[in-house]
Structure 1
Amino acid sequence: MTRTVFRFVPFTITQDTTAEPTYEAVCVSGDGKECGERSDEWITPHPVEVWMRDHMKITGHARYRRTFVDYADVTRADQNPDH
C-alpha cells in the first residue's frame, strides 16, 4: 500500500515592485464586429483614458476593455523574512 502525505504550506503573494505595471485599452464597440483599435501600453492609466476619449470623439465608440498587468511574487511563508 502506498501512502501519500499532503502538507499545507502557507505562502504570500505580493506585487513585484521592481517591475512597473502597464495599462492598455481595446475598443470593443461596433455593429456585429468589434472595432479592435487599441491604445499603446502605458505605465500610468491617464494616457489610456485620453486615448479612449479621443477615439470616442473620432468614432463615437463608447465601449472599451481595459487591461492592467502587473507582476507577482509568490513566497513560502517560512522563507518570507516578514514572518
Structure 2
Amino acid sequence: MTRRVFRYVPFTVEQDRTAEPEYEARCVSGDDTECGAESGTHRDPGPVEEWQRRHTQETGHRRYRRDFGDYAVMRPPAGLAELARVTGDTV
C-alpha cells in the first residue's frame, strides 16, 4: 500500500458538539490588586452572569474577566475525507 501525505488541505474548524462549552468569570475590580473572586465553571453563561450580578450587588465591583472555552474539530472537505477512507490514506 502506498501512503500519501497531502501538504495542503483546506480544513474547516468546527465546534465539537460532543463536548460541553465552559463559561466562567473572575472579578478584576480593584485599584492596586484585583478582587479575584471567581464564578466557577458552568456549562452555560446564565449562572455566571447571575454570579456577576450578585457579586456586584454585594461588593460594588463592576469589572470582570470572562472566559469561554470549547473544543474544536478539524474537518477535511467531504470528498477528501471519503477518498482517504476508501484508499486508507491519511488526511
Under a length normalisation based on structure 1, what TM-score does the superposition of the two structures give? Answer: 0.82
Q: Is 2:73 aligned against 1:73? A: yes
Q: Which amino acid aligns with 1:34?
A: E
Q: C-alpha separation between the residues in 2 aligned to 1:33 and 1:16?
A: 37
* Structure with greater strand percent: 1
Aligned residues: 75
Runs of 4+ in 1 over 4 A off after TM superposition: none
Classify the secondary structure of the residue corresponding to 2:9.
coil
Q: Percent identity between the aligned chains?
A: 56
Between the aligned partners of 1:18 and 1:9, the Cα distance in structure 2 is: 24
Any stretches of 5+ residues in structure 2 without a counterpart?
1-5, 83-91
Corresponding letter in the other structure for 1:24? E
Unaligned runs of 5+ in 1: 1-5
What is the root-mean-square deviation of aligned Cα atoms in Å?
A: 1.6
Letter matched to residue 81 of structure 2? Q
One-letter identity of the residue aligned with 1:19: A
